[in-house]
Chains A and B, each alone.
Chain A
Amino acid sequence: MSDVKTEHKPESFTNREYEAGFITDIETDTLPPGLDEDVIRHISAKKNEPEWLLNWRLEAFRHWQTMTEPHWPNVTYPPIDYQSVSYYSAPKSQADGPKSLDEVDPKLLETYAKLGIPLREQEFLAGVAVDAVFDSVSVATTFKGKLKDAGVIFCPISEAVQEYPELVQQYLGTVVPTGDNFYAALNSAVFTDGSFVYIPKGVRCPMELSTYFRINALNTGQFERTLIIADKGSYVSYLEGCTAPQRDENQLHAAVVELVILDDAQIKYSTVQNWYPGDENGIGGIYNFVTKRADCRGQRARVSWTQVETGSAITWKYPSCVLRGDDSVGEFYSVALTKMHQQADTGTKMIHIGKNTSSTIVSKGISAGFGQQSYRGLVRIAKSAEGARNHTQCDSLLIGDKCGAHTFPYVEVKNPTATMEHEASTSKIGEDQLFYCQSRGISEEDAVNMIVNGFCKDVFNELPMEFAVEANRLMEVSLEGAVG
């Protein structure tokens, strides 16, 4: 007698060892936990900041103290003690800021090499410039010279404050104001580093720019701030990657990204987020509370957000587009994977203000194990947005029966000429799809990967090639052992 029946066990969802989970043993200059005005003054002084920026931070901090943590996202976690977090940590060897790659601590170079991000220019993919942010500071930026020849500024934001203060002051906080939301206010008060990009008029950035964020120190939050300005008629493609060591404590990551796009300019912003997701019992992992917003200030300005979110214990993130200029275009392409005990509440906001503005939303959510995922999206057509168009496609894929997918689409239309389309679907990986692949000789695990990658294809197609390969690989790692 033989039983050919097999069971799918969601309990057996496991995470193959998180590859980026190692810790770099390096001497650091770390502030003791806690947050008050002195800490902010200290951070500001460390970075030798001008008076206006310190005041800007302090104002944000005072505002933050009057705010309460948002609880509307569809995620649950124990209360965060903001006084138990350290708000600044930097490798000691970086104290004076290395002038060139030769001065960068070899241990740091080794860390990035291990993560597949060689910082020595001759070793790196010729077409990509990298800014590497380690805990609270930028440790290296490659190809600065070549970019400078094209007039492109690509440097750590702390350096931009010193070198290009008028540009920073003109744009900082104009897309995401200090009091925008709880985490944006916190970030404004304590942000430490991040990238600054300025593409001058009519320049097509000669290479992809990328920032690689790494949280290393224990008990430290990372609060990076990225500001990208695309002046009239310019173009830039920017990539962002993130990892963190495997630790039992939850760590806080509250970033702000501001994009300013002027007439006829375009920014393509791609993220592969692979923060440590916690272990199979839901212990540890990064709390990823991020505010990303693009302001299409000019006419015919274009922005596209492409994100692959596979990491973090909790993700709270809505990369948004404010379509102010007439004929401006906003796009949001997202793949989010929640497995084990991960939770994600993510989506986008498309705010149509200018005439004939158009936006596209393609969101693909995959839940496995005990993962819980919500798509939350807002499409707002202002009265002034004559002839605005939106197309939203929102698909969820469930693997196993202990996970969940939720959708919260909000639509506000104040102008009757708007065209709105919304498509949504929720499906389970079909037993018949799996069997079909298996009967063609493909193992169950490979079949799951194949089906998931097929499901994500519309979004992966939007990624720059280097990232598309990485994204495919990450989805594979994450789903290994997904079916038992």
Chain B
Amino acid sequence: MIEIKDLHASVDGKAILKGINLTIGAGEVHAIMGPNGSGKSTLSNIIAGRDGYTVTKGSITYKGKNLLEMSPEQRSWEGIFLAFQYPVEIPGVNNTYLLKAGVNAKRKHQGLQELDAIEFLQIVREKAKLVELDQSFLSRGVNEGFSGGEKKRNEIFQMAVLEPSLALLDETDSGLDIDALRIVANGVNHLRSKDRSVVMVTHYQRLLDYIQPDVVHVLMDGKILKTGGKDLALELEERGYDWVRQEAAA
């Protein structure tokens, strides 16, 4: 699905990523863990195409194409989705309207007929149930006045509608109480399929109790220092991160 090779990137001249190598196959769920400031969010932002990051070395190949040459909207059309850590509010822009514009831009790109309002509403109503999002959210402004948990549910709802092939969940568990976490995780689990890869960026093992990863990576100091199975997450929970650095240095 995606192959990242020796990726170096900086923000305002400061090196953040220092040689990331990561390959994710179709249908796989990977968790990327690591302490604050290790570059986890930078990595997901670069994959999604956010401004303000300079890739100084390395490559990202997605479905055989050079991802770094694509605009963020092209990446979305090609099936990349980022669930934001802090979803922004866009006052006055209807939640459903935004999604419909996104879905139809993608369909246009794929040479498919655009969906009309009625067809789209049917899809949207169906998907909203997945994350137990009340219908009233569909017609509200994008994230306008949503609580933290509602914003995160809205992100997963959008993921369900956009049906990505690679979903990046950036600290989707942060700020969620236990019930909201269960709802969000159920939503993601429903969306798991053999054609869809998921990357979860998280601090805590808690999320991984609900969404079981195939592979766990530890990102520290701009590099992936260790890769393992889901047991690695439990070990990190117990022992912290320092031992990983010591082991890598040894």
Q: Chain A interface (Cβ within 8 Å of chain B)?
A: 1-6, 430-433, 435-444, 446, 450-451, 453-458
Alpha-carbon distance between A344 and B53 when the two chains are bound, in angstroms: 37
Asked if residues B88 and A438 are in contact (CB atoms below 8 Å), the reply is no
- When the two chains form the complex, which single residue of B46, B77, B92 contacts A441, counting CB atoms closer than 8 Å? B77
Asked if residues B93 and A451 are in contact (CB atoms below 8 Å), the reply is yes
Asked if residues A440 and B91 are in contact (CB atoms below 8 Å), the reply is no
> Nearest Cβ distance between residue B114 and chain A, in whole angstroms?
12
B162 at the interface (CB under 8 A from A): yes
Proximity string of chain B (57-86) to chain A, C-beta cutoff 8 Å, 1 when within and 0 when not: 101000000001101110111000110100
State which size class the interface on B falls in.
35 or more
Tell me the nearest residue of chain B to A456, going by C-beta. B92
Given contacts A451-B93, A453-B92, A454-B92, are A438 and B49 in contact (CB under 8 A)? Answer: yes
Q: What are 30 A-B residue pairs whose CB atoms fall within 8 Å in the complex?
A: A3-B54, A3-B55, A5-B52, A5-B53, A430-B88, A431-B52, A436-B90, A437-B90, A438-B71, A438-B72, A439-B49, A439-B72, A439-B81, A440-B76, A440-B102, A440-B158, A441-B76, A441-B77, A441-B102, A441-B106, A442-B98, A442-B102, A443-B73, A450-B93, A450-B101, A451-B90, A455-B92, A456-B92, A457-B92, A458-B92
With a cutoff of 8 Å between Cβ atoms, the chain A residues found around residue B48 in the complex are 435, 439
Alpha-carbon distance between A456 and B92 when the two chains are bound, in angstroms: 8
B200 at the interface (CB under 8 A from A): no
Asked if residues A438 and B69 are in contact (CB atoms below 8 Å), the reply is no
With a cutoff of 8 Å between Cβ atoms, the chain B residues found around residue A6 in the complex are 51
With a cutoff of 8 Å between Cβ atoms, the chain A residues found around residue B156 in the complex are none
Interface residues of B in 81-131 (CB under 8 A from A): 81-82, 84, 87-88, 90-93, 97-99, 101-103, 105-106
> Nearest Cβ distance between residue B66 and chain A, in whole angstroms?
8
With a cutoff of 8 Å between Cβ atoms, the chain B residues found around residue A2 in the complex are 55, 59, 68-69
Q: Chain B interface (Cβ within 8 Å of chain A)?
A: 46, 48-57, 59, 68-69, 71-73, 75-77, 81-82, 84, 87-88, 90-93, 97-99, 101-103, 105-106, 141-142, 158, 162
Asked if residues B105 and A443 are in contact (CB atoms below 8 Å), the reply is yes
Q: Work out how many contacts link A and B, with CB atoms closer than 8 A.
A: 101
Asked if residues A446 and B101 are in contact (CB atoms below 8 Å), the reply is yes
Residue among A1, A436, A444 with the highest chain B CB neighbour number at 10 A: A436
With a cutoff of 8 Å between Cβ atoms, the chain A residues found around residue B53 in the complex are 4-5
Tell me the nearest residue of chain A to B84, going by C-beta. A436
With a cutoff of 8 Å between Cβ atoms, the chain B residues found around residue A4 in the complex are 46, 49, 51, 53-55, 68
Tell me the nearest residue of chain B to A454, going by C-beta. B92
> Nearest Cβ distance between residue B194 and chain A, in whole angstroms?
23
With a cutoff of 8 Å between Cβ atoms, the chain A residues found around residue B76 in the complex are 438-441
With a cutoff of 8 Å between Cβ atoms, the chain B residues found around residue A450 in the complex are 90, 93, 97-98, 101
Asked if residues B69 and A442 are in contact (CB atoms below 8 Å), the reply is no
Alpha-carbon distance between A439 and B77 when the two chains are bound, in angstroms: 9
> Nearest Cβ distance between residue A190 and chain B, in whole angstroms?
42
> Nearest Cβ distance between residue A40 and chain B, in whole angstroms?
48
Tell me the nearest residue of chain B to A437, going by C-beta. B98
Residue among B55, B73, B77, B81 with the highest chain A CB neighbour number at 10 A: B73
Tell me the nearest residue of chain A to B78, going by C-beta. A441
9 A-B pairs closest in CB distance: A454-B92, A454-B93, A441-B102, A457-B92, A440-B102, A438-B72, A441-B76, A2-B68, A441-B105
Alpha-carbon distance between A4 and B102 when the two chains are bound, in angstroms: 22
Alpha-carbon distance between A444 and B71 when the two chains are bound, in angstroms: 9
Alpha-carbon distance between A1 and B69 when the two chains are bound, in angstroms: 11
Asked if residues A1 and B162 are in contact (CB atoms below 8 Å), the reply is no
With a cutoff of 8 Å between Cβ atoms, the chain A residues found around residue B97 in the complex are 450
Alpha-carbon distance between A451 and B49 when the two chains are bound, in angstroms: 20
Asked if residues A431 and B51 are in contact (CB atoms below 8 Å), the reply is yes
